[in-house]
Amino acid sequence: MTRHDVAVFGGGPAGVMAALAAARGGARTLLVERYGFLGGQSVSSLVTPWMAFHSFTRQAVRGIPQELVERLMALGGCPGHLPDPLGVAATLTPFDTELTKLVLLRMAAEAKVELLLYTFAFGVERQGERVLRVRVAHKGGEEWIEASHFIDATGDADLAHHAGLQTRSGRESDGLHQPLTAIFKVGGVDVEALERHVVDHPGEFVLDPRYLRGGMPAIAISGFFDAVSAAREAGRFPIARDRILLFGLPRRGEVAVNTTRIQRVDPVDPRSLSLAEVEAAGQILAVHRLLVDAIPGFARSFILQTPVQTGIRESRRIVGLYELCAADLAAGRDFEDSIARGAFPIDIHSPDRTGVDCESGKRQSDYGIPLRCLIPKEAANLLVVGRALSATFEAHASARITPTAMATGQAAGTAALVALAARCDLREADPRLVRERLLRDGAVV
C-alpha cells in the first residue's frame, strides 16, 4: 500500500485542478476517478459552456482554469471568453468536450499526477477527526488508499458522507433538489437561420438588447416560449420546462441543448438515478422532435451526442466551518480567508415548477469563498471542493458553477501544500500563506 501526500477523489474540473496544484507544488499526488477520462460532468454530462469566468467588473477565475482555456484555444477547441447574449453572466466560454478530456489527461501526466481510473470510493476509515484511509473498488478488487491529506471532489461529498461527517441535501424547506438535466448535442443546424429568427423576433426570447444589432457574439438562446406551450398543449412536450435553451459549440452548426428536466430525483440513490436516465432518454427524443418540427434552423438537424450520465446540479453539501449564504453573495462579501471567487447569479431551476429563478445580471461584483467552506466540521485532514462545498441551498445555486468549482479545487490543492509544509492539520494551515501562493500561481482570491 503506497502512502501519498495528497489523495484526490473525483477527476472532475475541481478534482483535476486540486491534483494539479498539489502535484506541481511537489506533493506526491494520487487522483482517483470512476471513469476512464478526466473532466467530470463538464464532459460526461456535456455541461457547456463554462459560466462564468468573469463578474461584471473583472475576471474572477484565473490560474490553472485559465491555463486550461488557453490550451483548448490553441487546439481550436475553445473561442475564449465571449459576452453572454442572455445577460445572465458577464461571459460564457464554449469548449469542446472531447478535446477537454485529452488536454486534462496531458496536464495530469505533465504534472506527474498518479492516476487511478475506473475506480470509486465506498468506505472511509476515520480515527477521531482524521481520515486514515479510503476504501476503493475497481476491476482488480478492493484496496485502501492512505494519504496525509484527502480532497473530496466527488461532487456528492462521498468521502465526507462515508466518514460519518455532517452533510445537508436539497432545499431547506422540503429537501427537494434542483432537477437533473440531460444536455445533448445536435449537429446539422443552420445557425444563420436560427440567429436571423432571434434577431427578427426579439419578443420570443430572453436576450440582452445590445445583441439585437450586429449579431450575437455566441449562440446563447433562451426562449421559443410559444412553441413549447403549443407542444405541451398537443401532448408532445412532457417536460416541466417553459422554454428551449440552446448554446453554440466551437464548431459552427453544432448546438448544445439544455432543455430536459427530470424532477424529484434523489441524486445519490442509484435506483432513482436509473429511472431518471430512462426518463431523460424520452425527453431528449421529445425535445429534438420539437426542434425539427418547429424551430428555425433545425429541420435537417440530428442528435450528435448524448451524455454519459444525466447532469446533476446538486446533491450533498458538507456542513463546514463556514456556510456561504445568499447575503454574502448579495453584498459581494470578502473574507480574510477567501481563496476563490464566485461570479454567477443565484440560478435555481425549480424542483417542482416549470420556471427558473435566476437573478440575471443583478449582482455587479463577484464574492469571496472562504477556505472554511471547504473544511468539514470535525475533520482535520479533509477538504471538500466543487459543488459539495458548505453553502445554503440559495448560495449553492451560484457557487456550484464549473469555473468556481475549478477555483476551489486549485485552492484546496494549494491549502494541502501549505499544511504539508507546516506539518499541520488543514484547519491550522495559515490562510494568508494559501492566498499568497494562489496569487503567485495566477489565481484570483
Q: Which CA distances in Å does 303 have to 186, 296, 309?
A: 5, 16, 16
Confidence at residue 355, expressed as pLDDT on a 0 to 100 scale: 67
Distance CA 42, CA 287 (A): 21
User: What is the largest distance, in Å, between two alpha-carbon atoms of the chain?
Assistant: 66
Collapse the DSSP code of 164 into the 3-class scheme (helix H, G, I; strand E, B; otherwise coil) and give the result.
Answer: coil
Residue 143 grid coordinates: 484496496
Write out the DSSP string of 281-340: HHHHHHHHHHHHHHSTT-TT-EEEE--SS-B----EEE-BSS-B-HHHHHTT---TTEEE
Instruction: Determine contact, residues 85/217, Cβ cutoff 8 Å.
Output: yes
Residue 363: the pLDDT is: 55
Q: How far is CA 345 from CA 85, 318, 361, 391, 443, in A?
A: 15, 21, 7, 14, 21
Q: What is the pLDDT of residue 199?
A: 84
Note the pLDDT of residue 365.
83
In whole angstroms, give the CA distance from residue 313 to residue 51.
14
Q: Name which of 10, 61, 17 is nearest 366 in CA terms.
A: 61
φ/ψ of 60, rounded to 5, equals -100, -15
Helix axes 63-74, 97-110, angle to 10 degrees: 120
Distance, CA of 14 to CA of 10 (rounded, Å): 8
Q: What does the DSSP 8-state code read for residue 409?
A: H
Which stretch of DSSP H or E encloses residue 356? strand 356-358
Contact call for residues 88 and 347 (beta carbons, < 8 A): yes
Q: How far is CA 362 from CA 37, 81, 226, 329, 390, in A?
A: 37, 20, 27, 11, 23
Half-sphere exposure of 230 (CA within 13 A, CB side): 9
pLDDT along the chain (445 residues), means of 10: 90 98 98 98 98 95 98 97 91 97 98 98 97 97 97 98 97 93 98 90 82 70 95 94 95 96 96 98 98 98 98 97 96 97 93 71 79 97 98 97 98 98 96 98 98
Question: Beta-strand (E) ranges in 193-265?
Answer: 205-206, 220-223, 244-248, 255-257
Boundaries of every domain in the chain: 3-80+94-175+314-349+359-440, 184-305
Are residues 255 and 189 in contact, defined by beta-carbon separation less than 8 angstroms?
yes
Indicate the fold that domain 3-80+94-175+314-349+359-440 takes in CATH.
FAD/NAD(P)-binding domain (3.50.50)
Answer whether 341's CB lies under 8 Å from 49's CB: no
Please give the Cα distance from 260 to 352 (Å, whole number). 14
- For residue 180, which of 51, 276, 47 has the smallest C-alpha distance? 276
The pLDDT assigned to 213 comes to 55
3-class secondary structure, 163:
coil
Q: What is the DSSP string of 96-153?
A: -HHHHHHHHHHHHHHTTPEEE-S-EEEEEEEETTEEEEEEEEETTEEEEEEEEEEEE-
CB 19 within 8 A of CB 29: yes
- Asked whether the CA dihedral 432, 434, 440, 445 is positive or negative, the reply is negative
Rounded CA-CA distance 292/305 in Å is 16
Among all chains, which residue has been given the C-alpha cell 490550451?
Answer: 71
- Radius of gyration (C-alpha) of the chain in whole angstroms: 21
